[in-house]
């Protein structure tokens, strides 16, 4: 069913005043090619959703269950290289989440527990040099935070 026929009421998808179950799609403007495919069950996002580039290359793939993000979100650059890989559990970030630049170089590796940063967190510049390298332990940051070496940013701002 074309996505424009679905309405959103209080966070649920409806078709003709009934919570929608089924597949929706969106086409690229002035084309017959599909840009998005979404699935719903009783008005809630459910199943694997996909988005595409105009060149038919997959752009994004993610999964929902009972209206919540679950599993792994994959995003690709238009050149086909991986852009990001984020893990969700019960609608929150969980585990290791990664991002790459359009040449395929890893630029971010973050770790989460129940939606919050936890453990090792690393960011790199496009040239491969480290941008940030810190650890979250007991809700506090320790390590290299951008240009602040081994200083908690809030400590450096509020202490004289």
CB atoms within 10 A of CB 19: 14
Q: How far is it, in rounded angstroms, from Cα 125 to Cα 120? A: 17
User: What percent of the chain is predicted at pLDDT more than 90?
Assistant: 83
Q: How far is it, in rounded angstroms, from Cα 130 to Cα 114? A: 26
156: confidence class by pLDDT, cuts 50, 70, 90? very low
What integer pLDDT is reported at residue 147 of this predicted model? 55
Domains of the chain: 3-117 (3.90.930.1), 119-160 (no CATH)
State the DSSP string of 97-113: EEEE-TTS-EEEEEEEE
| 3-state percent helix, strand, coil for the chain, nearest multiple of 5 | 5, 60, 35
| pLDDT-wise least confident of 113-117, 119-123, 144-148 | 144-148
């Amino acid at each position: 069913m074309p996505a424009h026929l679905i309405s959103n009421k209080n966070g649920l998808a409806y078709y003709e005043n009934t919570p929608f179950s089924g597949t929706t799609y969106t086409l690229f403007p002035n084309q017959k090619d599909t840009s998005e495919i979404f699935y719903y069950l009783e008005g809630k996002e459910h199943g694997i959703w996909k988005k595409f580039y105009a060149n038919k290359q997959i752009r994004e793939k993610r999964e929902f269950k009972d209206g919540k993000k679950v599993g792994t979100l994959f995003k690709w650059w238009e050149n086909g290289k991986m852009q990001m890989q984020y893990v969700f559990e019960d609608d929150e970030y969980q585990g290791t989440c990664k991002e790459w630049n359009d040449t395929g170089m890893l630029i971010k590796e973050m770790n989460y527990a129940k939606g919050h940063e936890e453990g090792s967190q690393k960011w790199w510049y496009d040239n491969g040099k480290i941008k940030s390298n810190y650890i979250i332990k007991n809700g506090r940051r320790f390590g290299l935070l951008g240009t602040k070496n081994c200083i908690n940013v809030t400590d450096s701002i509020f202490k004289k």
